[in-house]
Structure 1
C-alpha cells in the first residue's frame, strides 16, 4: 500500500509475535506449473429488494431469481512494501499464487494465477475451525481447536501441492496473536503440514483487508470506513474521499483494531439465552462493550462522519450473512452478495430480529445454520456499534478481504521485482555498449 498506517493508539506493537512478515510456503510446493483454462467470475450490483418492516416477521427463503446482475470491477493496483517484497521468490509465467488466512473462527485458502493486472481463481477452500474457542477465558488455544485447525490446514497443504503452488503467503491473525501458545501452534503447523504461518499485526491485517476489497466502495465524494468483523478482533479503517471503483488503493487516514470479534465477544459475554429478556440484555451488553472499545476511534472521526456523503464497506461473515437474509436467499450465493449495497436501516432491522430469536430459530434460517447460530448475534452487536459511530445511509458488502489483499500484494511486488530486474539489465547493457 502506498501509505503507511498510523500507529494503533490502543494496541501495543509487542502484540505481533510473528516477527517479520513475508514468509512463504515450504519448498514442497515449488513444482512446475500446469495450464488451467478457468476464467474469472464477475462482480455484483445492488438489488433494491427489502426484507420487510416488521422486526418480528419470520425470515423466509424465496426464489433467488433476480437477486441481482453481475457487474465487472477493475483490478486493484498497489505499491508493494518491504514485507511484501520479502515474500517474493522468482516465479515463471503461469505458476500459481496462494493466500491462506487463518482467523479465529475460519481457515480460508485462495489459489490463483495472474491475469493481466488481476488474477483468476483456480481453487478455494473455507472451513469453520473455531481456533479461538475459549481463548477469551483461558488465554490459550485448546487441544480440540488446534486439532480441528490442523485438519483444515492439511487439506490446504494438499491443495497447494496439487495446484503446483510455488509462491504463497500464509497468515494467522488475532487468535494466534493473543494465545500464550500461539507461537507453539505455528511451529506445530509448520512441522506437520509444511505451511509457514506468519502471525501478522493488527495493522497489517487492516491494510490487507483494505487492499482486498476497496474496489467495491460505493461511488460518492465523501470519506469511507472499511471494516472487518473477524472472530477475535474487528478492524476499522478510515480512508480518503473519492476514488470509488478506482484501481488506486485509497489513502488510509486513521484506523483502529479492537479485540472483539464474533468468537471473543460471545465467549466473554456468555451464551445465556434462556428467555427473550435475557437475549435482549445480552445483546445490549455486547453493544455496550464494543461501543466503549470503539470510543477513541469514534472521537477521532467525528468531523469526517459529519460529511453528507459518507460511505461504508464491510468485509466479514457477519455482513455477508445479513446480506443473504436481506436478499432472502435459500442458500448462500457469493455472486449475489459480493458488491451488494444495502440500506443501513435494513441491516439494523435484520440485526434486531436476530438478536431476539432463540439459537434454534437462528439455526433454521438459510445462510446461518448451526455453525453461525451462536456467533451471528455478536456480529450484529458489532455492526450496530459501527453504524452508530459512522451513520452511513447504505452499507457495501464484500465477500473478499485479506486473501485477495495478499494476492494483490505479492503480485504487485512480483511485477515491481520484474521491472527492477529489466531496468538493471538495461543499465548494464547501456554500460557495456558505451565502452
Structure 2
C-alpha cells in the first residue's frame, strides 16, 4: 500500500458490463495515475436479457469466474480500496440478486448504478483529456448508450447540460433485430431506424450540441482496430483516434454480408465480440448521423477512469460525512 499521508493510493475498480468485465489496477500519487494495468474479458453478461428479462445461469457463472480471477489480481496488488459496479444488464435483470450474492461471496461490494450515474462517471473519466472544453460523450455498450453533454475543469463540479441513458446497445440490437448473421433483408435498416428515432429525440431535446463528440466502449475501439488493420491491439493508436462517419459506414457495409465467423476473421476483431459488432457499428453510425457529426474522437478512458477519480475523492475525504463527489455519487469501497 501507499502512504496515505503523501496522498498516494492504490485503487482497484471493477466494472461488469453487458458485454465485457473489466478491472483497473492503478497507483495514484497526488491525484495523478503513475502506473496502471487494465484487464478486459468478454463475458456477455447480457446474453438473452433483452428477451427474457433475466441473467442466464451460464452468464452468471462466466462473470463470477472472471471476478474470482480479478480478486486474485486485486489481492496481489494490495489496494487501499476496491469498487465494483454493474450497469445495463444488471439493471434490467429481475434475478440480478443472484449475481450480486455471488460477488459478495467473493468479498466484493457490488453496486448496480443508474444509467445517469454511469453517464456522469464516463464523462468525468473522459473529460480530463478535454479540460475546459464543451464536449459530448457517448458510451455505447452492450445494453445501453449513455450520453452526457457539458464540460469539466479541475477544482470545480461537472457542468452538464444534458445527461441520458438510452436502452440502445450492441447486444440488445443484435438480439432484437437480427434473426441471424448475416442479417436478413431489411433487418439492418429496421435496427438503424429504431436507434435513430431515440438518438434523434435526444439531440432534439438537448440544450446544446457541442462541436466535439467523444465515444468510448468496445465497439468504437474495435472499429479503429479494424480500420487500422491491427494484428495486435495497440491502445496508443486507438486513444484519441479520429473516426469518420464514412469509416463507420464502410465497416457496416463490410460486415452486413458476413456471418460471425467471417467478422471474427477481419483484422482487429476479437472472436467473442464478432457477433455483436455489426449492431454496435450501426448504433455508432446513427448516433453520428442524428447528431450531425462527420467524425468523433475515440477515448480509451471510460467509466473505469471516472470510478478511479471518484474513489480517489472518497479516499482523500475519508471520515468527512459532508463530502460531495464531483459526480454526486459515493462509491461503496471495500
Q: TM-score normalized by structure 1?
A: 0.68
Residue 299 of structure 1: aligned partner: 204
**Is residue 156 of structure 1 aligned with residue 70 of structure 2?**
yes
Structure with more strand by fraction: 2
Shift of residue 326, structure 1, vs aligned partner:
2.5
Is 1:269–1:282's contact at 8 Å kept on the other side of the alignment?
yes
Is 1:141–1:182's contact at 8 Å kept on the other side of the alignment?
yes
CA distance in 1, matches of 2:225, 2:73: 29
**Is residue 347 of structure 1 aligned with residue 252 of structure 2?**
no
Residue 206 of structure 1: aligned partner: 119
CA distance in 2, matches of 1:418, 1:196: 19
RMSD: 2.6
Spell out the pairing of 1:62-73 with structure 2 (5 A cutoff).
none
**Is residue 371 of structure 1 aligned with residue 282 of structure 2?**
no
Is 2:229–2:268's contact at 8 Å kept on the other side of the alignment?
no
Spell out the pairing of 1:381-420 with structure 2 (5 A cutoff).
381-417=282-318
Structure 2 residues without counterparts, runs of 5 or longer: 323-334
Residue 56 of structure 2: aligned partner: 142
Match of 1:262 among 159, 170, 173: 170
CA distance in 2, matches of 1:383, 1:370: 20
Is 2:8–2:30's contact at 8 Å kept on the other side of the alignment?
no
Aligned length: 321
Structure 1 residues without counterparts, runs of 5 or longer: 1-32, 36-89, 422-435
Spell out the pairing of 1:154-303 with structure 2 (5 A cutoff).
154-191=68-105, 193-217=106-130, 223-240=134-151, 247=154, 251-273=159-181, 278-279=183-184, 281-301=186-206
* Structure with more relative contact order (C-alpha pairs < 8 Å, separation 6 or more): 1
CA distance in 2, matches of 1:324, 1:157: 29
Shift of residue 157, structure 1, vs aligned partner:
0.9
Shift of residue 292, structure 1, vs aligned partner:
2.4
Largest Rg, 1 or 2: 1
Is 2:143–2:172's contact at 8 Å kept on the other side of the alignment?
yes
CA distance in 2, matches of 1:176, 1:418: 30
Q: TM-score normalized by structure 2?
A: 0.87
Is 2:288–2:294's contact at 8 Å kept on the other side of the alignment?
no
Is 1:99–1:407's contact at 8 Å kept on the other side of the alignment?
yes
CA distance in 2, matches of 1:304, 1:361: 41
Structure 1 residues 413 and 195, CA, compared in 2 at 3 Å: closer, same or farther?
closer
